Chain A
């Protein structure tokens, strides 16, 4: 482990912004949610109603995880953070680890660093130390924020600590995958698959109220029950997972060759397929992994919610006040929730495709392609068409999965019409976000990461709009809100037309700009 402090200093110096920003943003999300809950459920009576309705709903359990001590503010807050927390924390932990280990290896930095007085094993140790700093900062911020909000000091400490340990365990997972996989790219996609799988296993276990919370690490944090009688095993389990991952990563790092993975890599094709040199063929080939991931995510998500419709309908039947508060039919309410996140995933698929073209330009590969016989506009249109197809495909797959599962569970064929109509009405909103990403990528490829902000905003508004008490104008920045709560309400026809035109216009503007400027590189 010689030189791990040198490596740690290097990591802090090169990525201090992420080390500060990631835990601060995550803590802000958590504290904001608790602040919203405090505002929405100020009295014990309101909290008891919450506990008896949303706190009992299997769909909500599947979505957020188990709710404990829901008569206390802390319990509701933790429950509401559920979905976002279970996905955002591990994804940040995972990416942080891969970026501070394997990504540096792929880019050749570690070849230089380990040629100095830094051992190979110092790399994962320094990365783990960075993660410890990040999650400690997160815990301190969350604890401070919750205490300021007036929550009990010990409960807040328990909650902040458990969530930070959950994040640390995810960092550990990223560390191991970074050592095992052949590249940062495959480590990340493997890690995201595991996170998604862990979430789905927990969703099924909790949605069906099975007595198996231990089955997925995603369900552990809720079991610590920091707002009531404290349970120690989840804390120990998270810490043990983090330690086990750290030790495994160290062992592998000590034994493997730099630049090589443990998981086997298949040899590629000796010749290119016929469609590879077509803009759409190449765009598909390069982005198909991401598109497949979003498709599977959307289908899994929609099917999971769809299959819980029966329970949700039953709960609502018992609590007419809940239906009154939410409006619409019970099965359609499930669809609103299911389609909103499906739409966000469809946007993500399209944004991922168009922003990739900016990456191709920055790294000089677009320059190589543009030395060929196709025009810039040709490449642009081909690439955008694949993005549009990806968005449409993910949305359609999610809507179909939702319609079919609801049809089976509720024995009601109208669910299929509703789901498909909701998908169709959300499509212009999704395409507008993709169009915006296309324009940003064409105008300033170096700033293309900004294209993800609208996708993140749609997700935050959709999932946390109510508890965060966002002002109307901020909510309306999300294009899906302009369309309306489909299929409970029918989509706003004006918004549909405007968003469709905006999407087409934005793609056109992007192509026009790209055809007229200097290439960024190569």
Chain B
């Protein structure tokens, strides 16, 4: 995939494959092209070159139809300041189209969110919770999570990992863009590391460990540094 914004080369031949039923970690520093990739998957930006298929179709051309099958959490959720948190959740989830009411109420409780407060009074962490509850309360097959836990406290980070595990147990697929290594290590089956719009490596965690000098004991952090530095 290739995407330029003016003189900025956001994606420079990036390769990414997410398989059905897996949690795929998508790792790279700020500005590496993670959010641009996800926006291209959503059909919000048009690639300059390369091919992109979502459920076998071109998301730029068939975005609305394909979006019924996915739910998205942005990295920096901006809400409608005049709506309450509960209204924002229902708005986002109903626009997606497959909201489950029981699941919604249950998630609000688990993420300890007060749905009556105005969105303008929410902290960054609370805004992320709204987007997470909205996305996870749908029955979408694919969850596109773009640094979803930024601003969450460690307790909520833990709840997040639990909830994503439950979603995977139901057979859902997750693309998790993140630079929180513990989160990736806890959740992901396979990982893609990117740097400056290019794929450095794609492999399972076990596969990455096999090629790493630290071997089986290597943490996600070690693996990331090994491959990321190796690409420099």
Q: Once bound together, how far apart are the Cα atoms of A518 and B43, in whole Å?
A: 9
Q: Once bound together, how far apart are the Cα atoms of A378 and B80, in whole Å?
A: 20
Instruction: Considering the complex, give the chain A residue whose CB is closest to the CB of B131.
Output: A368
Contact with A along B138-181 (1 / 0, CB 8 A): 00000010000000000000000000000000000000000000
Which of the listed residues B39, B78, B81 has the most CB atoms from chain A within 10 Å of its own CB?
A: B78
Does A443 touch B at the CB level, under 8 Å?
no
Beyond A272-B87, A272-B89, A367-B39, whether A267 also contacts B116 by CB under 8 A is yes
Question: B94 to chain A: which residues have CB within 8 Å?
Answer: 272, 276-277
Interface segment, A27-35, A323-331, A369-377?
A: A369-377
Q: Is the CB of A368 within 8 A of B81?
A: no
Interface segment, B22-30, B60-68, B191-199?
A: B60-68
The answer, among A185, A282, A518, for a CB contact under 8 Å with B91, is: A282
Question: B83 to chain A: which residues have CB within 8 Å?
Answer: 268, 272, 276, 285
Does A271 touch B at the CB level, under 8 Å?
yes
Instruction: Considering the complex, give the chain B residue whose CB is closest to the CB of A281.
Output: B91
Does A470 touch B at the CB level, under 8 Å?
no
How many CB-defined contacts (below 8 Å) exist between A and B?
Answer: 116
Question: A269 to chain B: which residues have CB within 8 Å?
Answer: 84, 86-87, 116
The answer, among B63, B65, B90, for a CB contact under 8 Å with A272, is: B90
Q: Is the CB of B95 within 8 A of A372?
A: yes
Q: Once bound together, how far apart are the Cα atoms of A286 and B119, in whole Å?
A: 13
Q: Once bound together, how far apart are the Cα atoms of A372 and B73, in whole Å?
A: 11
Question: A268 to chain B: which residues have CB within 8 Å?
Answer: 83-87, 116-118
Interface bin, chain A: 20 to 34
Beyond A276-B94, A277-B95, A373-B67, whether A271 also contacts B87 by CB under 8 A is yes
**Residues A254-297 near B (CB distance < 8 A):** 265, 267-273, 276-277, 282, 285-286, 289
Question: B76 to chain A: which residues have CB within 8 Å?
Answer: 364
The interface residues of chain B, by DSSP majority, are classed as mixed
Instruction: Considering the complex, give the chain A residue whose CB is closest to the CB of B134.
Output: A368
A413 to chain B, nearest CB (A): 42
Contact with A along B79-103 (1 / 0, CB 8 A): 1111111111111101111000000
The answer, among B44, B45, B84, B97, for a CB contact under 8 Å with A267, is: B84
Question: A271 to chain B: which residues have CB within 8 Å?
Answer: 86-87, 90, 115
Beyond A271-B115, A371-B42, whether A277 also contacts B67 by CB under 8 A is no
B49 to chain A, nearest CB (A): 15
Q: Is the CB of A369 within 8 A of B95?
A: yes
Instruction: Considering the complex, give the chain B residue whose CB is closest to the CB of A274.
Output: B94
Q: Once bound together, how far apart are the Cα atoms of A378 and B44, in whole Å?
A: 15
Q: Once bound together, how far apart are the Cα atoms of A210 and B144, in whole Å?
A: 67
The interface residues of chain A, by DSSP majority, are classed as loop
Beyond A270-B115, A368-B77, A370-B63, whether A519 also contacts B45 by CB under 8 A is yes
Beyond A374-B95, A375-B64, A519-B44, whether A265 also contacts B118 by CB under 8 A is yes
Q: Is the CB of B116 within 8 A of A183?
A: no
Question: A378 to chain B: which residues have CB within 8 Å?
Answer: 64
The answer, among A183, A369, A373, A374, for a CB contact under 8 Å with B120, is: A183
Does A522 touch B at the CB level, under 8 Å?
yes
The answer, among A265, A273, A276, A522, for a CB contact under 8 Å with B74, is: A522
Does B224 touch A at the CB level, under 8 Å?
no
Q: Once bound together, how far apart are the Cα atoms of A277 and B94, in whole Å?
A: 6
Question: A276 to chain B: which residues have CB within 8 Å?
Answer: 83, 87, 90-91, 94
Q: Once bound together, how far apart are the Cα atoms of A286 and B87, in whole Å?
A: 12
Q: Is the CB of B68 within 8 A of A373?
A: yes
Question: A46 to chain B: which residues have CB within 8 Å?
Answer: none
Q: Is the CB of B44 within 8 A of A367?
A: yes
B25 to chain A, nearest CB (A): 21
Q: Once bound together, how far apart are the Cα atoms of A116 and B97, in whole Å?
A: 47
Q: Once bound together, how far apart are the Cα atoms of A285 and B87, in whole Å?
A: 11
Does A39 touch B at the CB level, under 8 Å?
no
A6 to chain B, nearest CB (A): 27
Does A417 touch B at the CB level, under 8 Å?
no
The answer, among B5, B67, B74, B81, for a CB contact under 8 Å with A372, is: B67
Q: Is the CB of A183 within 8 A of B81?
A: yes
Known pairs A267-B84, A368-B131 / 12 extra A-B pairs, C-beta < 8 Å: A183-B120, A265-B118, A267-B116, A268-B85, A269-B87, A272-B83, A272-B87, A368-B78, A369-B95, A370-B44, A373-B96, A378-B64
Cβ contacts A to B, 17 pairs, < 8 Å: A106-B120, A185-B81, A265-B118, A268-B85, A268-B87, A272-B89, A276-B83, A277-B95, A285-B82, A364-B78, A367-B39, A368-B131, A370-B42, A371-B44, A371-B67, A372-B97, A373-B97
Task: Enumerate the 7 nearest inter-chain pairs by beta-carbon distance, A residue then B residue, closest first.
Answer: A268-B84, A272-B90, A372-B95, A277-B94, A371-B72, A272-B87, A267-B116
